[in-house]
Structure 1
């Protein structure tokens, strides 16, 4: 099973040379060779948080060839912003060495920030409510993006032999596309959901494409050794019963490429 290995590094990380003028436009020292990173992805991407004269922003960097499509994320974020709180796109570009995406910081903190990892009894039901909010608020009608099974199978990088006969669609929604816990923001204090990030795979699909991954990520981020049924807690907060068949299918599909 594929697991997330993104992390917040303990020390400043190198700033790619092509990214230095971009970061300088948003408040970084123009000659900064290293900066603290908000997130480092195992695929090779790095996210920097900057506090400049124009406020707090995040800048994502994706080296060429790592498979992180920041142009797709910018397009989807701009579309979804009409319906739910997502990062406002400030700049997107690229060259032969890679691409970048600069967005305005949103209020709140990731659901895997230390204060929420320590309080999963608050974070997990909030995540369930957040995903239901997204699915109810973002309309299928007029959505220009596809995340259906046929679309994903065409892009898969693993063995798809057991995935050619998907279960019937339960409810068609606009899926977030990476509904793992870190990609929902919770309000300081109350823990209520306040926003969504990492939107490069937004598209129309069965809601279980999101639900299967969202529940799978709970064990990665909050642990599953204390006897608590975090998956059940999440699904009750979302407002649906477990569906083992669709859950198993969409987790297997995730494993061959989100």
Structure 2
């Protein structure tokens, strides 16, 4: 955790009556602070974490040019020991805070939001998060024994991650061909905590946590959305309604369940 002296050095001064309130400290050593008026957040990283924070800053800055409800970058401070990223707050509550009924009501607007992101011109996006990049990241995580078994699908938790990766590598050429024909600007971590929703209207207001934003197969996002939201549904009827609604809103007539399965298996191997 960054020292109090280091934090004081990097956090900008606020008007009288406002203060920075600690929100969380991650395992990486990052610290997150919220302005007491709720208008902004500050994230502080030290040492090597500052490089990762720079990687988070650039997508935020790029995406803020589009009207998608993403955070605005307010300040970027870097010193010898680390860095501080200050962004505007996106209004609303995380979609993960909603119950199944509420989430189902919000779901079409969440789908429309990810669809608007996917509709941006992929050739204009300076960030790449394609399959070759993510398989290489998975290979590194697996080689270091850093896969978190809790991230794996229940039916895969007893399988050696090296075997899971080997099975994914066997599909590389097929999935690369699909990606080449359907490459879009992806969020990269399209889980429910990263979609903000107005609790009164139950409409999506925007997206946060953009550190993995980049061009990739659109199914990278779709797989995570469906799997993560699945924890909120009260039964198969809600799950099926959400599945059908997502693909209807996005105008995709034939959902490819094999691609969904592939990217849902890959994602847990890329964290660590």
More helix by share: 2
Residue in structure 1 matching 2:86, options 77, 102, 107 = 102
Is residue 96 of structure 2 the alignment partner of residue 85 of structure 1?
A: no
CA contact (8 A) 1:15 1:35 kept: no
Aligned position for 1:48: 33
Residue in structure 1 matching 2:127, options 138, 145, 166 = 145
Residue in structure 2 matching 1:163, options 162, 168, 180 = 168
C-alpha spacing 1:95/1:172, structure 2 compared with 1 (3 Å): same
Aligned position for 2:264: 251
* Distance in structure 1 (CA, Å) of the matches to 2:101 and 2:45: 31
Aligned position for 2:44: 61
Aligned position for 2:108: 125
* Distance in structure 2 (CA, Å) of the matches to 1:48 and 1:132: 30
CA contact (8 A) 1:45 1:68 kept: no
CA contact (8 A) 1:45 1:62 kept: yes
Structure 1 window deviating more from structure 2 (15-24 vs 73-82): it is 15-24
Relative to the length of structure 2, the TM-score reads 0.74
Relative to the length of structure 1, the TM-score reads 0.77
Aligned position for 1:23: 11
Question: Runs of 5+ in structure 1 lacking a partner?
Answer: 1-13
* Distance in structure 2 (CA, Å) of the matches to 1:132 and 1:104: 23
CA shift, 1:219, in A, is 2.3
Residue in structure 2 matching 1:228, options 238, 246, 270 = 238
How many residues in Structure 1 have an aligned counterpart in Structure 2?
237
CA contact (8 A) 2:70 2:207 kept: yes
Residue in structure 1 matching 2:228, options 217, 221, 225 = 217
Question: Runs of 5+ in structure 2 lacking a partner?
Answer: 143-161
CA contact (8 A) 1:128 1:236 kept: no
Local SS of the residue matching 1:146: coil
C-alpha spacing 1:24/1:140, structure 2 compared with 1 (3 Å): closer
* Distance in structure 2 (CA, Å) of the matches to 1:93 and 1:227: 48
C-alpha spacing 1:121/1:29, structure 2 compared with 1 (3 Å): same
CA contact (8 A) 1:63 1:98 kept: yes
CA shift, 1:209, in A, is 1.1
Structure number, greater radius of gyration: 2
Structure 1 window deviating more from structure 2 (55-64 vs 125-134): it is 55-64
